[in-house]
Amino acid sequence: MAGKRRGRGSNVQQQQTPQNRGGGRRRALRQPAAFARSTGYETTIPHEKLTIAQARRGTPANRPVRVYADGIFDLFHSGHARALMQAKNVFPNTHLIVGVCSDELTHKYKGYTVMTESERYEALLHCRYVDEVVRDAPWSLTPEFLQKHKIDFVAHDDIPYTSAGSEDVYKHIKEAGMFVATQRTDGISTSDLITRIVRDYDIYVRRNLQRGYTARELNVGFINEKKYRLQNQVDKMKETVRTVEEKSKHFVYRVEEKSQDLIHKWEEKSREFIGNFLELFGPDGAWHVIQERSGRMLQALSPYSSPRGSPSSSPTRRRSVSPDSFPSSASASASPPSSPSSPSSPSSPSSKSSHSSPKKGKRSSLKAASTYSRHVQ
């Protein structure tokens, strides 16, 4: 048993190395520490007194150095665990005994505790550095108690512990050369934890009301209970609004992202459409090439006709007579030739009409021309 515990202590010193992580898992799965016997430590091996130098050099496996550390250990935390780790590793072969004071002594000399004594005993049993737990430990260590449990050294921080009318309850231990010092962990203590709870009292009351505790269990009055429950409802509404805001922000971000993608795709399609349009209908596009080729084919199949007004292109014009000649021929054919002996008098009706109305003569000439053209056709 002693050798096994010695190996466990040496492994604790090496627990920071990656090679010993498997051993750390095995240590965590071991049995809880044992409670000390009411009759004290019993062994057949002579328990000779050790000096600190002898203990530091190491002792046989069947003779571990019995180190005692006591305390209240209320709200057991990492500061407690680190102090016990230092006490366990102060010598190469250490059997660590931890004394826990009862509720009666603690309330008398220090104050009210959060955890009961049975809860504090149980917390120490499951600390990996502890080998033995002494219940109802004395407030001040007496020679009889040290002899009963065969204690070699007492481990505690070096700050004088003023209590029970004494300036330092460990003064006689230090004078006897049985004291080994450990270091306190800054920033963590039972008093610090209680201070946090008292400072944030309203928060923790509201928290426990939400978790189903009654106002009576929390020692909260009727008005304060209603106030805390109203504050909880307000906090829920705030949380809901905050959640909606976060979701709306996410939605807006997604919409913006999608719109940017759509705009980018639209720009790509527009550029593609414009490029295809210019390729088809541009100055050098396929449409102009097709038109040019079709024009050439039409010209080759049916050449252009002669221009209008050309003498060779209009057979009708070849047979037509100038309108200016129509009156003379018409008048020649319509009226009989006058006798050469009859002189034309200026007062004759024909001479009057020919000289007095040139417009009328033009109309009659045009009418005769049209009559002639119909006759020829």
pLDDT band, very low/low/confident/very high, at 9 (cuts 50, 70, 90): very low
- Contact present, 188 and 77 (Cβ < 8 Å): yes
136 Cβ contact list (under 8 Å, min separation 6): 100, 101, 102, 105, 117
What type of residue sits at position 238? K
In the prediction, which pLDDT does 318 show?
Answer: 47
Q: Which CATH number is 34-187 given?
A: 3.40.50.620
| 3-state secondary structure (DSSP) of residue 6 | helix
pLDDT digits (tens, 9 = 90+) for 312-365: 444 444 444 444 444 444 444 444 444 444 444 444 444 444 444 555 555 555
HSE (side-chain half, CA atoms, 13 Å) at 23: 15
260 Cβ contact list (under 8 Å, min separation 6): none
| Terminal Cα-to-Cα distance of the chain (whole angstroms) | 150
- Dihedral sign for Cα 220, 222, 223, 227, please: positive
Which 8-state DSSP code applies to residue 219?
Answer: T
Quick count: other Cβ atoms within 10 Å of Cβ 220?
Answer: 19
Q: Rg of the chain over CA atoms, in angstroms?
A: 64
Percentage with pLDDT > 70 across the chain: 70
Per the model's pLDDT, the better-predicted residue between 230 and 176 turns out to be: 176
Q: Where are the domains of the chain?
A: 34-187, 191-291
In the prediction, which pLDDT does 161 show?
Answer: 83
pLDDT band, very low/low/confident/very high, at 156 (cuts 50, 70, 90): very high
**Closest by CA position to 99, among listed 86, 117, 116, 85:** 117
Q: Which two tokens stand for residue 287?
A: 């449409």
210 Cβ contact list (under 8 Å, min separation 6): 232
Q: Which of 1-5, 59-63, 266-270 has the highest mean pLDDT?
A: 59-63
Q: Write the DSSP string, 25-71.
A: HHHHTSPPPEEPPTT----SS------HHHHHH---TTS-EEEEEEE
In the prediction, which pLDDT does 20 show?
Answer: 44
Q: Which two tokens stand for residue 231?
A: 């504050």
pLDDT digits (tens, 9 = 90+) for 178-225: 999 999 999 999 999 999 999 999 989 988 988 999 999 998 898 988
Q: Which two tokens stand for residue 210?
A: 């939400």
Q: At what angle are helices 326-334 and 358-376 packed, to 10 degrees? A: 80
pLDDT digits (tens, 9 = 90+) for 23-64: 445 555 678 999 999 889 988 777 888 999 999 999 999 899
